[in-house]
Amino acid sequence: MTDQRASVPVTESAAVQTRGPHSVPVELSVNGTEYVVDLEPRVSLLDVLRERLELTGTKKGCDQGTCGACTVWVEGRRVLSCLTLAIACEGLQTATVEGLADGAELHPMQRAFLEQDAFQCGYCTPGQLMSAIALLEEGHAGSDEEIAEWMSGNLCRCAAYPHIRSAIRTVRDQRTGD
């Protein structure tokens, strides 16, 4: 009996998709800086950021997609970097908490977090910041209930939630001139 699978032609796209399992060079753009990193295709974006690029602002909490501590932006959209393969970000713009400030000038959301006392231990804060800024861009900060709903993927074991919402309201109102 002939094994039909052996006769399936290998298409060009299938060949392109076959990378690894050993290390391959991957081009990443993070906070506007270009990197080429040799890594196995199974490696998460979170591990590459922290362990290869030394961008340790992004935190590892659960490493399974439930806490939000690892939130970064890819092409301007918030993603959980623990559930995102680094190789899938090749050719895309990734942004982390290290890219928020403009030199010594903090991002308005960073300033608001400081002014509103929106953290205690600070472990969740990088992810909270990335989500909070994205939330405003997404137009999901109309009410406290809406803010809570759209920030619900970012857990805070110190329960700084009221202060985090206050910081988000502050930046929202600054933008609208209220």
User: C-beta of 44: minimal distance to ligand FES in Å?
Assistant: 9
The least distance separating ligand FES from the CB of residue 162, rounded to whole angstroms, comes to 12
Spatial strand order in the sheet of 93-95: 33-39, 24-30, 93-95, 71-74, 77-80
CB of 4 to ligand FES, least distance (A): 42
> How many chain residues touch ligand FES (CB under 6 A)?
23
Which tokens is 34 given? 């270009």
Contact between 160 and ligand FES by CB under 6 A: the answer reads yes
* Separation between Cα atoms, residue 126 and residue 146, nearest integer Å: 21
Q: Which is nearer to ligand FES, 19 or 120 (CB)?
A: 120
Stretch 45-74 residues interacting with ligand FES (CB under 6 A): 60-63, 65-70
Query: Cβ closer to ligand FES: 34 or 54?
Result: 54
Q: 52 is written with which tokens? A: 């290869």
CB atoms within 10 A of CB 67: 22
Site for ligand FES in 100-139 (CB under 6 A): 119-125
Indicate the residue among 19 and 107 with the shorter CB distance to ligand FES: 107
Query: Could you tell me the smallest distance in angstroms from the CB atom of residue 26 to ligand FES?
Result: 20
Residues in Cβ contact with 83 at an 8 Å cutoff, skipping those fewer than 6 apart? 44, 64, 65
Q: Which of 139, 158, 160 is nearest to 150 (CA)?
A: 139
Nearest to residue 36, comparing CAs of 23, 27, 44?
Answer: 27
Q: Site residues (CB under 6 A) for ligand FES?
A: 60-63, 65-70, 80, 82, 119-125, 156-158, 160
